[in-house]
Structure 1
Amino acid sequence: MDESAPASPEAAPAVAAPAAVKTLRVAVVEDDPTLRLFMQKLLQKNGNGFELAGAWATAEEAVQPVVESAPQVVVVDLELPKTSGIEFIRQLSPRMLNTAFVVLTIHDDPEKVFEALRAGANGYLLKSSKPAEIVAGIRQASEGGAPLSQEIARLLIQSFHTPAAPKKKNIPSLTPRESQILERLAQGMVPKELAYELGISYETVREYIKSVYAKLHVRSRTEAVIKYLEHQG
């Protein structure tokens, strides 16, 4: 061995390459063109790790391509024309078990939140959220989490602290949804208001009302409300 030869430098320790961010396919259902464009740009921004599966203005336009493309996450507005966001989630979530549905809306009342979660939503974010919070929420939902805006989480906690209202007496012949419709009619709400509050279509509300009338053997809202009030007494 030639002792005069320069010693070989020690091998530098291997540096692990940073883990690649998993690319997620995300779809958007939002009727406001400005917000829809914002979401498209946010999802297509380099570094966020998203692939836009598509963006649609109505639930009717979105159903088939969403089912066919099977994105990991679908971001849905609640206030959509005709079929609501909640009804859209209710229809698709049982068919798309590997897809997370995240609500992105302006509504921050607990009833809307509970209705959306019961329909199958995996998360509930407000449109006032920062872009980074929306990005984090989408990724969290894709990993099995349940992203909630801070305001929504606080409202849900407060709702559990509120004393429960006296339980209404449902008419046995009516389904839970029909009882809910009848109670709202007794409170003075009209079908369009019912559709908005319950997150279902106007046509669906009308069908429920027809069913209530038939089961109560009445012909008008007034007669139905009278029967409801008599039953509560």
Structure 2
Amino acid sequence: MPTIKLVIVEDLEEVTEGLSEFIRRDNELQLLSTFRTAEAALLELPLLKPDIVIMDINLPGMTGIECIRQIKKTGLAMQFMMFTVYENNDQVFEALKAGASGYLLKKTAPLQIIEAVKELYNGGSPMSATIARKLVSIFQEHPTGANNEAAVLTPREKEVLELLAKGMLYKEIADQLHISFHTVRQHIGKIYEKLHVQNKTEAINKVYGNRV
């Protein structure tokens, strides 16, 4: 597996130091830099080109969510994982709409954070359990809310996308649908191609945007 290049955007020094220490212990990860403000990150991220940015929401000045929006406009191929104390619906969904592909609470254990980074790099969308439950509850309350964007998808592709939106990992989807991991990846590739998106979050927003 290639080295995963990371950047941390977090204004609390003790949080940054603790997370940095665990990243440096893992030989599959490389910490390129850390920033305390979104403005500083916005200037340097296009030059650093990390694979993943671990981003706080409540930063001095520009928020982490707005920083993601600005970076997404550039078309740079980096993924964002929110790392925050916020777990209310508005913050969660604004972050996902902005383009975040993962959402972890700061109370998450360090080793789980490292595993989440690797999962995100490999195509997953890691979320803390409470956040995943919020998404599940929305789908349970509105099981038929997909918009017309889903019309281009096959029934199986729709099924895979809905399970993805509920926070399930590729392996869990494979087990539930009794198909192989490879087949799940093929379905997801087709979903992205048909919807003209690059990741899970964009696909969910395009199909279920009226709900998330």
Q: TM-score range by the shorter chain?
A: 0.5 to 0.7
Shift in Å, 1:144? 2.2
Give 2:72's match in structure 1, choosing from 89, 93, 103.
93
Does the C-alpha gap of structure 1 residues 46 and 118 become closer, same or farther in structure 2, counting only changes over 3 Å?
A: closer
For residues 29 and 96 of structure 1, the distance between their equivalents in structure 2, rounded to whole angstroms, comes to 19
Instruction: Write out aligned runs for 1:10-25 (5 A).
Output: 21-25=1-5
* Amino acid across the alignment from 1:38: G
For residues 135 and 46 of structure 1, the distance between their equivalents in structure 2, rounded to whole angstroms, comes to 8
Instruction: Write out aligned runs for 1:84-163 (5 A).
Output: 84-161=63-140
Tell me which moved more, 117-126 or 141-150.
141-150
Is 1:68 the equivalent of 2:47?
yes
Aligned to 1:39: 19
Shift in Å, 1:67? 1.1
Q: Is the 8 A contact 1:23 1:50 kept in 2?
A: yes
Aligned pair count reads: 142
TM score, norm. by length of structure 1:
0.58
SS in 2 for 1:78: coil
Residue by residue over 1:119-159, the C-alpha shift from the partner in whole angstroms, topping out at 9 and shown as x without a partner, is: 01011111111112111111111222211111110122224
For residues 144 and 25 of structure 1, the distance between their equivalents in structure 2, rounded to whole angstroms, comes to 15
SS in 1 for 2:73: coil
TM score, norm. by length of structure 2:
0.63
Shift in Å, 1:46? 3.8
**Coordinate RMSD, CA, aligned:** 1.6
Give the percent of matched residue pairs that are identical in Structure 1 and Structure 2: 33
Give 1:77's match in structure 2, choosing from 56, 64, 88.
56
Q: Is the 8 A contact 2:56 2:64 kept in 1?
A: yes
Unaligned runs of 5+ in 1: 1-20, 164-233
Q: Is the 8 A contact 2:38 2:62 kept in 1?
A: yes
Give 1:56's match in structure 2, choosing from 35, 47, 51.
35
- Bigger CA radius of gyration: 1
Unaligned runs of 5+ in 2: 143-212
Shift in Å, 1:40? 1.4
Aligned to 1:28: 8
For residues 116 and 102 of structure 1, the distance between their equivalents in structure 2, rounded to whole angstroms, comes to 9
Q: Is the 8 A contact 1:72 1:98 kept in 2?
A: yes
For residues 152 and 59 of structure 1, the distance between their equivalents in structure 2, rounded to whole angstroms, comes to 23
SS in 2 for 1:94: helix
Does the C-alpha gap of structure 1 residues 160 and 67 become closer, same or farther in structure 2, counting only changes over 3 Å?
A: same
For residues 24 and 45 of structure 2, the distance between their equivalents in structure 1, rounded to whole angstroms, comes to 18
Instruction: Write out aligned runs for 1:197-208 (5 A).
Output: none
**Higher helix content, 1 or 2:** 2
Shift in Å, 1:38? 1.1
Shift in Å, 1:28? 0.4
Q: Is the 8 A contact 2:92 2:103 kept in 1?
A: yes
For residues 128 and 115 of structure 1, the distance between their equivalents in structure 2, rounded to whole angstroms, comes to 20
SS in 1 for 2:34: strand
Does the C-alpha gap of structure 1 residues 144 and 96 become closer, same or farther in structure 2, counting only changes over 3 Å?
A: farther
